[in-house]
Structure 1
Amino acid sequence: MLSEDYLAKNNFELSKLSTCSIDALSKKEAKKELAIVRRELAEFQTRLYAHDKHAVLVCFQGMDTSGKDSLIREVFKDFNVRGVVQHSFKVPTDLELSHGYLWRHYVALPSKGHFGIFNRTHYENVLVTRVHPEYLMAEKLPGFDSPEDADEDFWQMRYQQINNFEKELTENGTFIFKFFLNLSKEEQKNRLLRRLHLPEKNWKFSEDDLKERKLWDKYMLCYEEAIKNTNTKNAPWYVIPADDKPMARLIVAKVLVETLSKFKDILPPQLDGETSGKINEYIAALENE
């Protein structure tokens, strides 16, 4: 697999992209290979932590039931918990709304040596709010008096703000990965039905899921527009076929490993000459206690 196979192209159309993986492995095979790849990813995490000059930000977007939670759980299962932080961005709080919309994402960014995982991201501000522009009223924006004020210029301004935000991060040592989990409407239906049929899954279901599902086509157009306008060289988008959960997890893990393995200079720091020269002395002292 090549990471480039899943990079969003500037002229792509979501409606023409398959939501099923080509040459998909069986569930058992995909899980077995993921176990290998995620160990490689965990080894990189250790080097990143010791190197302490870069951070990694991994962003996940997708419709409800696209598998974000389980993907994060499975892909990052072998990580040392001290080196990774996950944030799931819900409806903004009053405190968050009293700041600019990017503020809550700035304060959640990973520090150097760490992985940060955004489950739903700063892109909610050009997706959910674009489908429901009335939500923007809670932001108390100057000169913004009604949802109709969210015209094309407004969204282009936000895309540029997000691009600037991500450019600043990459210029200061953060590697950014943005994954859109491309789920079919039919598969979402199956997953929602499963939540309703299985009592232990009922808690995941919300009536709002059905309301948002009716806006599927509008969401797809907004996703396509957002990806096209924020797909940059240093912060590219990957469109991941998400109907097959085990394969989606494997693809994401492979994209991360293939890309991060190119950074050969990310290694633990070397011991200073004096300490290095006394290693045998230290070993002897401990063994002769």
Structure 2
Amino acid sequence: MTDEDGCTLMKVLMDEPELVTTINTGYKKLRNVTCLSEEEFWTSAEVSDMKCFNVQGTVTNTIKTKSGEWPADIAVTSDGDLVYSSGTVNKVKSGQTEEVIRLQDWIPTNLCVTSSGDILVTIYSDDTTQSKVVRYSGSTEKQTIQYDDEGKPLYSGNSKIKYISENRNLDICVADCGAGAVVVVNHAGKLRFRYTGHSSTTKNNAFSVHGITTDIQSQILTADFNNNCIHILDQNGQFLRYIDNCDLRNPFGLCVDKSDNLFVAEYSSGNVKKIKYLQ
């Protein structure tokens, strides 16, 4: 949102986020959602079909993974092309699937497309003892993020979910499910902070971090699967509030559209919920 001089206007968190609409995808075990536009979004589950829906709930496109396996993650480029990981990283352009990244001894899982058009991918080793984040420009590896300044691993070494998002300030935010932490590094890969949940008398289960996304204010939103809520942090990792109304159930994947509406993929129900949380 901008004023008449083209300056970005600050939005504030609503006291009570509003459920705008619920779209049933028909999926069991829905995992991922990524916005194509304010009117359309892609989804994927533990099947090979990836479906694009409009906000009225109509399927507008369906693409199968080339491998026949279900996709670990999906993202959309600035040109509107679908990118997905399923053993390899692939891009679908004008209906044609092109393999972009194939690795030896490492397996790509979660990914995001950055503001510069690079792809950030979380990958783990074949023996599931190491994990790292790699930045690609096309098929070319540009950056590897694996260790902190003391040589210790930044991410838990396993095949568990590590959703990833680039923040507006170019920080790289990883939801490390195996570590129960959001791990944030700057653009150069230097650790900025770890967030391991917020002490609350209303949240009885351990912090179960799944999907992650960021918004126009560089706020970080992450799904807490077991506590049926979304944590909102500022860009420095300070807890701001929960989204724990809107009858959320097992929130998994997250994305934010250009109008800062939050889309939440619910694993068990197969629903995508569109939520307004800024005003």
TM-score bin (small chain): under 0.3
TM-score of the superposed pair, with normalisation by structure 2: 0.27
Write 1 or 2 for the structure with the bigger share of helix: 1
Larger gyration radius, structure 1 or structure 2: 1
Q: Per chain length, whose mean CA-contact separation is higher, i.e. which structure has more relative contact order (CA < 8 Å, sep 6+)?
A: 1
Write 1 or 2 for the structure with the bigger share of strand: 2
